[in-house]
Structure 1
Amino acid sequence: MAVHRLLLALTLAAAPALAEEVTFHPFDPARAEIGRLLFYDPILSGNRNISCGTCHHHETFSGDGLSLGIGEGGEGLGPKRTAGAGAAAIRKRVPRHAPALWNVGATEFERFFHDGRVSLSEAYDNGYDTPAEEWLPDGLPTLLAVQALFPMTAQFEMAGNVGENEVTGAVGDRIDLGWPILAKRVRTIPAYGDAFIAAFDDVTAAEDVTITHIAIALADFMGSEWRSLDAPWDAYLDGTPLAPAEERGRALFFGAANCASCHSGPLFTDHDFHALALPPFGPGRTRRFDPLPRDTGRMAETDDLDDAYRFRTPSLRNVTLTAPYGHNGAYPTLEGIIRHHADPLGALAAWTPDLAKLPDAPWLAAVDFAIRDDRREMARMAARVDIVPVELGDGDIADLVAFLGALEGGASRHGRLGRPDTVPSGLPVD
C-alpha cells in the first residue's frame, strides 16, 4: 500500500509536465470554418454524393460505427449505412476501419493511416512520403493537410468508379490530376471563392484557390475540431482520484497487463506498428501483383518482411465512443479487443464472422471472409505476433474497460464547431 501511494504521488507530481506534452499545430479560425463546410460538402467527391463527414461524422464521434467503411455508392449514415442498390451500389468495401480523428492536430503525429503510408520524410524532396510521391502539391504546411488529400483520390472512398466522372478518370492517369478538377469545382462557387479570399493572404481572386488551400482549410478544421483532453484521466493528472474500478484498471494498464508498452504517452499511442493477429476479413488492401484478398499492413508500404501484418497503434482517447475496434473493426466491444490482446492466437481461433459489423451486400459475400479459408495465409499471420499473452480474469477485463472509460472526454467529445446544416454547393449534408 505504501508503494502504491508513493507511485501515485510521483505520478501526480509529474502531472503538469504530462499535461503539457500535447502540443497542437496552430490553426486559423476563418480557415477552419471553410474546412468545416468542405468536410461535409459532397463537392469534393467524384460523383458529388459523399463527403469526408459521411465516414467521420459528429454523430458517430468522428468515426462511422462500421467494421469496414461503405464509401462511394452507399446510402445512409453510421451503423445504419447500407451498401446501396442497383447500378450505384458499392463495388467493394473500404478495406479498413475508418479511424477516429481525435487530436489528429497534435504535432506528435508523424504518420497517418493504418499503414502509415503518409508520413514525414525527405524521400521525395518535399518533406513527405505519400502515394503521390514527387507529384504531391506544393505548399502543404502540415502532415494533416497532406493526409486530407488522399480520400478524394480513392476509388471506393470518394473518387468513384472508372467511367463515372472526370475526377476518377484523371486519377487513373496519375494521382495528382484529379485535385485541380476538385479545386475548380470549389473556387467557382462564389461563397467559397469569397471565403478563401478573406482567409488566405495569397488568394486575391477565386481563380487563385488551389487544392493546397483546400487541404489547409480541411486540416485547420480537423486539427481544431476534435481536440479532447478533458477526460477523468486529465482530472486525475491534476489530482482528482479515479473511481475504484478505474484505478484498478489504471494499475493493470500500466502494470501487469502491459498495455502501456504500446499505448503510451498523453494520447495513449506510441505511433508505431505492431502485429496482433487480428482476425482478417474483407477485400484486403492488396497490391496490384497480390492475388489474395489480404492486408499485410505496414509491409505493403515498406516492402520489409519484418513489417508484415503490423498496423499503427491507435490513440485510446475517446476509445469508448468509436467501436468497433481494430484496423478492420473486428471486435464490436472493448471487452472483445482486450481479450484478443491478452491471448491473440486463442482469440483468432475463436473469432466468428458475426462479430463483424458489415452492412449486407450479397454480391460481395464470396469475398468478405474468403481469406479465412486460406490456411497458409492464416498461418503466416498467426506467426507474426508482437505482443506477449497475459493472464486476465473477467474482473481484470472489467477494470480495464472502466479505465478506458476514464479516457472519454467531456464536452469535447461533441466537437468544437459541429456539423453545418447547409454547405455552399447546395448539395445534401449527411
Structure 2
Amino acid sequence: MTDADFLPVNMAQAGIGQLLFYDKILSGNRNISCGTCHHHDHGGSDGLSLGIGEGGVGVGPKRTGGSGDNRIKKRISRNAPALWNLGHKDISVLFHDGRLSFSDAYDNGFNSPAEEWLPPGLSGLLAAQALFPLTAQFEMAGNPKENEIAGAVHDRIDAAWPIIAKRVRTIPAYGKMFVEAFDHIDEPEQVTISEIGNALAAFIAVEWRNHDSPYDRWLSGDPTALDPKADAGRELFFGAAGCGGCHNGPLLTDQSFHALALPSFGPGRTRRFDPYARDVGRMAESDRLEDAYRFRTPALRNVALTAPYGHNGAYPTLEGIIRHHLDPLAARETWQPDTARLPEVPWLEHVDFVIRNDTREEERQRRAVDIIPVSLTDLEVQQIVAFLESLTGESALSRPLGRPEKVPSGLWVD
C-alpha cells in the first residue's frame, strides 16, 4: 500500500476530529468519548473482550462498570473494532455485521441503520459510521430520561443529531474551527452533524493510516524484511494453513462474512424480537437465514496491537485465535469463560455466560461453521504468529496527531 491508496484528508478538519474524538460533549451524559473505547494507548481499541460503555469509569482493561445510579446497565455486545486503515479506498462495508455499506437502497448512497434518515453531506462510509455510536444507548447516548439525546433517539435516530451538533457549534472554539476548516460554513450556526461526522472521519482516516511494517517492506521487494520465522509463517498463511482465503488483498480482508463458531457469551446483540442473549451476526442485517452467525473478516495490519480477538473478543492472544481457526468446534468445546477479558461487574454476572446454557442455541452455532479444520504443528502455529506480528508498522505507536491533552468543552480527557 501507498498513501495514494487512501482517500484524501483535509488536515484542518482532521484537527477538529482529533478534539471531538476525545471530547465527551458528544455523549448524552457527557461522560464518554469515542477515544474511551478506541484509545491510543490500546492500539485504537480498548483491550477488552466486550467494552464498558456509558456509565463506566476508566480506560482499557482497568475500566470498571461504575457505581450507584450511573453504573452500566449492560456490557457492549461486541468487541471494539480496530480503526487501522479505515480510510483506504477499498473499504466498502463497516461494523462486525456489515450494517453500513454503500447502497442506493435509501437514495442517500448508504445502507445503514438510519435508513432514509441518514443526514446528507457525509463524506463517505467513515463519516457515516462515526455517527452511530453517538446514538447507541449503551455506548454513548445513555438511557432514556437521563438526557435529551437519549430521549430524542427514543423518538427516532435522526432526532438526536441536531442536539449534538448544537452542543458542539455553540462552544466558541469549535465554532471558529469549523468556519475555518469547511469552505461552505460561514458561521457556526451552519454546522450540522454531517460536518461533525466528516471531521471525525478525517481524523480517523489520517490518524490510523499505517503501512510501514516489515511485511510492507517485503512486499516492496526487500527479501530480508521478514525474519525466517515470519517468512515461514507467511508461506503457511497464504498456503497450507488457508488463512489467505479470507484474509487477502492489501488490507488482508475479503470484507465478507464467515461463521467461526466462536464461544458465545455476553449480552448478545439482540434484535427487537430476540428473547435472549444471542448474536446472529450478519443475519441481523440481512434477514437471511444463511447469514446466521457470520461476521465480517477483520483486516489484519497491526493486529498484534488490538487484542483480544474475534467479534466478541473471545481470545486474548494471537495464538489462541489461530488455534481456534484450525479447529473451531474442538476449540469451542475446550474454551473456558475466564479466557475472556471481562472486567468484574457483579450485577451482570448472571447474564455474562447465560447463553452457554441454551443447548439449542449452542447447537445452532456449532452447525454454522465455514472453516475446514487444518492440522498444524506447534512450531507452525508460532510461525504464523510471527508473521502476524510482522504486520505491525514501525510507526504504529507514533501517530501524527495523537491524543489531545484537553478539549474545547473543558471536559476531562481519558
- 2:145 is paired with a residue whose SS is coil
Given the alignment, which residue of 141, 147, 154 partners 2:136? Answer: 154
Distance in 1 between residues matched to 2:4 and 2:316, nearest whole Å: 29
Distance in 2 between residues matched to 1:85 and 1:54, nearest whole Å: 18
1:402 correspondence with 2:386: yes
Q: Which residue of 2 aligns with 1:215?
A: 197
Identity %: 64
Which amino acid in the other structure matches residue 342 of structure 1? L
1:305 correspondence with 2:289: yes
Given the alignment, which residue of 109, 130, 138 partners 2:112? Answer: 130
Distance in 2 between residues matched to 1:246 and 1:343, nearest whole Å: 22
Moved more, 368-377 or 237-246: 237-246
- 1:330 is paired with a residue whose SS is coil
The runs of 5 or more residues in structure 2 that have no matched partner are none
Deviations 1:302-321 (A, max 9, x none): 00011000000001100101
Q: Which residue of 2 aligns with 1:24?
A: 6
How far is 1:413 from its partner? 3.3
Which amino acid in the other structure matches residue 342 of structure 2? L
How far is 1:383 from its partner? 0.3
Q: Which residue of 1 aligns with 2:405?
A: 421
Distance in 1 between residues matched to 2:397 and 2:15, nearest whole Å: 19
1:70-89 to 2 correspondences below 5 Å: 70-89=52-71
- 2:5 is paired with a residue whose SS is coil
1:23-422 to 2 correspondences below 5 Å: 23-240=5-222, 241=224, 242-422=226-406
Deviations 1:276-318 (A, max 9, x none): 0000100000111110200000000000011000000001100
**Does the aligned pair in 1 maintain the 2:144–2:151 contact within 8 Å?**
yes
Distance in 2 between residues matched to 1:110 and 1:83, nearest whole Å: 34
Distance in 2 between residues matched to 1:117 and 1:22, nearest whole Å: 27
Distance in 2 between residues matched to 1:234 and 1:107, nearest whole Å: 18
**Does the aligned pair in 1 maintain the 2:2–2:211 contact within 8 Å?**
no
How far is 1:403 from its partner? 0.4
How far is 1:21 from its partner? 9.6
Distance in 1 between residues matched to 2:398 and 2:322, nearest whole Å: 26
Distance in 1 between residues matched to 2:3 and 2:135, nearest whole Å: 34
Distance in 2 between residues matched to 1:77 and 1:342, nearest whole Å: 33
Distance in 1 between residues matched to 2:110 and 2:179, nearest whole Å: 27
Distance in 2 between residues matched to 1:289 and 1:405, nearest whole Å: 42
- 1:26 is paired with a residue whose SS is coil
How far is 1:81 from its partner? 0.6
Deviations 1:20-43 (A, max 9, x none): 597111110100000000000000
Q: Which residue of 2 aligns with 1:6?
A: none
**Does the aligned pair in 2 maintain the 1:42–1:48 contact within 8 Å?**
yes
Distance in 1 between residues matched to 2:397 and 2:127, nearest whole Å: 22
- How many residue pairs end up in the alignment? 412
Which amino acid in the other structure matches residue 56 of structure 1? H
**Does the aligned pair in 2 maintain the 1:64–1:78 contact within 8 Å?**
yes
Decide whether aligned partners of structure 1 residues 348 and 104 sit closer, same or farther in structure 2, where only a CA change above 3 A counts. Answer: same
- 1:203 is paired with a residue whose SS is coil
Distance in 2 between residues matched to 1:95 and 1:420, nearest whole Å: 28
**Does the aligned pair in 2 maintain the 1:119–1:143 contact within 8 Å?**
yes
**Does the aligned pair in 2 maintain the 1:61–1:414 contact within 8 Å?**
no
How far is 1:56 from its partner? 0.3
**Does the aligned pair in 1 maintain the 2:251–2:299 contact within 8 Å?**
yes
**Does the aligned pair in 2 maintain the 1:22–1:266 contact within 8 Å?**
no
Deviations 1:188-215 (A, max 9, x none): 0000000000011111111000000000
- 1:30 is paired with a residue whose SS is helix
Distance in 2 between residues matched to 1:414 and 1:64, nearest whole Å: 18
Q: CA RMSD in A?
A: 0.9
Distance in 1 between residues matched to 2:309 and 2:178, nearest whole Å: 38
**Does the aligned pair in 2 maintain the 1:226–1:413 contact within 8 Å?**
no
Which amino acid in the other structure matches residue 336 of structure 1? G
Which amino acid in the other structure matches residue 83 of structure 1? G
Distance in 2 between residues matched to 1:61 and 1:146, nearest whole Å: 22
Distance in 1 between residues matched to 2:400 and 2:250, nearest whole Å: 20
The runs of 5 or more residues in structure 1 that have no matched partner are 1-18
Deviations 1:13-67 (A, max 9, x none): xxxxxx4597111110100000000000000000001000000010111000000
Deviations 1:142-180 (A, max 9, x none): 110000000000000000011100000000000000000
Distance in 2 between residues matched to 1:152 and 1:316, nearest whole Å: 26
- 1:365 is paired with a residue whose SS is helix
How far is 1:414 from its partner? 3.0
Q: Which residue of 2 aligns with 1:15?
A: none
**Does the aligned pair in 2 maintain the 1:58–1:414 contact within 8 Å?**
no
